[in-house]
Amino acid sequence: MKSSLLSQSVKFFILNTIYSVKKVKDSLLKMRKLKVDAFEKVNAPIKLGTVFLKNRIILSTMTRCRAVCNQPNEHMAEYYKQRSGAGLIITEGTSPSPNGLGYSRIPGIYTKKQINAWENTTSGVHKDGSKIFVKLMHTGRLSHSLNMPEGSQIIAPSAVKATGKIWTDYRQMQDFPMPKEMTLEDIRHTKIEYVTAARNALKVGFDGVELNAANGYLLEQFLSPYSNIRNDIYGGSIENRCRFVIEVLTAISEEIGQGKTGIRLSPYGIAGDMKHYPEIDATYQYLSEQLNNLEISFLHIVDHLAMGEPMVPMALMKQIRNNFKNTIILSGGYDIERAENDIKCGLADLVAFGRPFINNPNIVEKLKNSWPLSQDLKIKLFYTAAKIEYTKYPV
């Protein structure tokens, strides 16, 4: 009798265990399916202009300040290669000229040595099937002479000083200086520098160029009536304030091709002492219409709400989406579920991730496999010259 009861008890225990294990497995499979579904659109390949991307995840441009003496180096090449699971990589801000070197240790692409050094980065990224665009960034008034080579000058649309301070390796924090107002000859020359830099980029294997008209740098300085108080054809009306941006973008796309040219904007951003102005919505509505007429590859919009800045209103986002018919890239505090949703609903075609890529070099693989993301992020070491906290995160 006891043996029979024991047998039934064991049998019940075994069946109950099998049922429990199956229930857990079913639950895990369900969770797994949710993750897979959440990764469906994001993981799909897409054509961006003239290039094909293996997925719709982008390594967003992030200043990392590792280019000692403004020279691209092997550590930078390793950094980008580690993150080449992304369909597209957009480099850190890269100056088209000595005048554009605002911050300590940002790279350039205007000397022969700089140009040749970038080839290590592009070739490394291409080996893993990723594409890479260089972000051309002229800092304009957000600069300091201690961060610039001899013979360069700090130029801006107008002689309007930015509030705030900037880091220099020689004297640490310093006030932003008063910039020199650009003459018409300065404007013409700067356009040539942008075009030359774009040409240099394609020579060493970059797949295209993103023009930075965001975050308070030179091109956005032309857009704002607070930093641009000119009274010539480059100032005053919305059309005039957008003129320099459109001219630079037109010249670059004519040089390297519309399918290899994109632009980054930050409506409502306040970085670089960019104050809000009454015509801000009308400015970006007009600009997005003009960018659509140029038929460039993509428009990249960054929203810094996750960093405490004002949110880009959804009404403006939808208006820009309606105006610009080619690819839209969105960035700013995204997780995988939000990225998938914005792509599915048509607000975005691709999504750029920034900080999660720093301490998760293989974030694409982690997302595919539902692996946990590292939270070990040391913000104080973002902009140092050290290799630690740059290429030493585990892959």
- The set of catalytic residues is 217
Give dist(CA 190, CA 53) in Å, integer. 31
- Count other Cβ atoms within 10 Å, centred on residue 27: 10
* Contact predicate 214/142, CB 8 Å: no
243: phi > 0 → left, psi -120 to 50 → alpha, else beta; which?
alpha
At 262 the three-state DSSP class reads strand
Q: What's the first-to-final CA gap in the chain, in angstroms?
A: 59
* Contact predicate 210/263, CB 8 Å: yes
Q: Count the alpha carbons within 13 Å of 15 in the hemisphere toward its beta carbon.
A: 6
* Contact predicate 364/86, CB 8 Å: yes
Residue of 108, 191, 102, 91 lying closest to 142 (CA atoms): 102
Phi, psi values for residue 145, rounded to 5° = -60, -25
* Contact predicate 196/96, CB 8 Å: yes
Helices (H), the chain: 2-38, 74-82, 112-127, 184-203, 218-223, 238-256, 280-294, 314-323, 336-344, 356-359, 363-369
- Count other Cβ atoms within 10 Å, centred on residue 290: 17
Give dist(CA 319, CA 214) in Å, integer. 18
Give dist(CA 196, CA 47) in Å, integer. 26
* Contact predicate 92/106, CB 8 Å: yes
* Contact predicate 79/393, CB 8 Å: no
User: How is 343-369 classified by DSSP, letter by letter?
Assistant: HHTTS-SEEEE-THHHH-TTHHHHHHH
